[in-house]
């Protein structure tokens, strides 16, 4: 009860202040030096980080009262589906559309994800992640565009956990949280490992199963995973990433023995 009272008092105090303070890590170009700029805006109930950035964009005046350039950031769906608005908020990578101002200690620090190259301000280039999706063939192949009829059915139990994996929105948050995704490795990241599991499970997608596993066995694949488990904690969709990593670790070991012995009859 005391914790609830404290939370209510904190919210009341914040409402009484009627302003919200933001410290934004800015960068004018991909090659320029980053710098911090502070903004103070009027508080509104149920305000999220995106609506706060919209307010700054509407009236780009910093805390010192000086006119400045609007802050740049990515967004699209505004309902935690597209993954575009990922950024680091008070030291934690997450979706800014579902980040309510009331949840954070002020000043609220906004930074771009460091795993990806900065384009400008809070916008980053996630091309590395999308290129990795191409490498693992993260799609179900079809033969032409004509009507192929119904595909093979999946058992309901398998379909249910496959649906959990399909929630991935390539937001990049798990890559940002993973210490093994850095400039010293080519590790593609936990989201991609989980996508291999998803498409290898699909009855039609399994046609490229060996090829996907072979990609995971190369540089930047599953061998780079340090099992820190930061990814499963950071994932905004609650995807069981560590379970997928364990499953792919086993699958690549089986594939390695298949390749070594040249047998197509080993048990998966």
> Do 117 and 143 sit in the same domain of this protein?
no
Tell me: pLDDT of 27 over 50.
yes
User: Quick one: 171 and 239 in the same domain?
Assistant: yes
CATH number, residue 38: 3.10.20.30
The answer to whether residue 210 scores a pLDDT higher than 90 is: yes
- Residue 154 sits in a domain whose CATH number is 1.10.1060.10
Residue 267 domain-assigned (yes or no) = no
Q: Which of 4-8, 22-26, 49-53, 246-250 has the lowest mean pLDDT?
A: 4-8
Are both 201 and 229 inside the same structural domain?
yes
- The closest alpha carbon to 43, from 10, 13, 18, belongs to 18
Last residue of a domain, one of 75, 108, 124: 124
Q: Give the phi and the psi of residue 48 in degrees, each rounded to 5.
A: -105, 175
Contacts of 176 (CB under 8 A, 6+ apart): 86, 88, 93, 113, 114, 115, 116, 234
Query: Residue 23 belongs to what domain range?
Result: 2-124
Q: Is the domain of 98 the same as that of 163?
A: no
pLDDT at 13 over 90: no
> Are residues 114 and 133 both part of a single domain?
no
Residues 16 and 134 reside in one and the same domain: no
pLDDT over threshold 50, residue 115 = yes
Among the candidates 54, 89, 124, a domain finishes at 124
264 against 124, higher pLDDT: 124
Q: Domains in the chain: how many in total?
A: 2
Q: State the average pLDDT over residues 15-29.
A: 88
User: Residues 118, 9: one domain?
Assistant: yes
Whether 103 and 134 share a structural domain: no
Q: Which long-range contacts (CB under 8 A, 24 or more apart) does 92-97 make?
A: 92/234, 93/172, 93/173, 93/176, 93/177, 93/234, 94/173, 94/234, 94/236, 95/171, 95/173, 95/236, 96/48, 96/49, 96/50, 96/53, 97/48, 97/49, 97/50
Same domain, 149 and 109: no
Please state, for a pLDDT cut of 90, what percent of the chain lies above it. 80
Q: Which of 71, 97, 72 is nearest to 84 (CA)?
A: 97
Domain boundary among 94, 124, 154: 124
pLDDT value of position 152: 83
117 & 175 share domain:
no
Do 93 and 159 share a domain, yes or no?
A: no
- Whether residues 70 and 164 fall in one domain: no
pLDDT tens digits for range 229-255: 999 999 999 999 999 999 999 999 999
**At 259, is the pLDDT very low, low, confident or very high (cuts 50, 70, 90)?**
confident
Q: Where residue 1 falls among pLDDT bands split at 50, 70, 90?
A: very low
19, pLDDT greater than 70? yes
């Amino acid at each position: 009860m005391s914790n609830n009272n404290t939370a209510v008092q904190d919210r009341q105090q914040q409402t009484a202040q009627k302003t919200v303070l933001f410290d934004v890590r800015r960068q004018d170009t991909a090659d320029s030096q980053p710098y911090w700029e502070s903004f103070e805006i009027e508080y509104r109930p149920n305000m999220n980080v995106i609506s706060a950035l919209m307010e700054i964009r509407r009236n780009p005046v910093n805390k010192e009262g000086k006119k400045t350039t609007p802050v740049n950031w990515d967004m699209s769906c505004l309902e935690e589906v597209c993954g575009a608005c990922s950024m680091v908020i008070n030291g934690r990578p997450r979706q800014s559309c579902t980040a309510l101002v009331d949840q954070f200690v002020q000043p609220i620090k906004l930074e771009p994800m460091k795993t990806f190259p900065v384009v400008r301000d809070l916008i980053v280039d996630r091309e590395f992640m999308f290129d990795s999706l191409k490498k693992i063939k993260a799609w179900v192949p079809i033969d032409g565009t004509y009507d192929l009829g119904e595909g093979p059915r999946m058992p309901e139990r398998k379909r249910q956990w496959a649906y959990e994996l399909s929630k991935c929105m390539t937001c990049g948050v798990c890559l940002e949280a993973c210490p093994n995704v850095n400039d010293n490795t080519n590790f593609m990241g936990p989201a991609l490992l989980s996508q291999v599991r998803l498409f290898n499970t699909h009855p039609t997608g399994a046609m490229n199963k060996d090829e996907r596993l072979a990609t995971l066995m190369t540089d930047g694949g599953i061998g780079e995973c340090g099992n820190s488990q930061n990814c499963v904690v950071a994932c905004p969709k609650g995807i069981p990433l560590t379970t997928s990593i364990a499953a792919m670790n086993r699958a690549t070991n089986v594939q390695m023995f298949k390749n070594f012995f040249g047998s197509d009859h080993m048990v998966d």
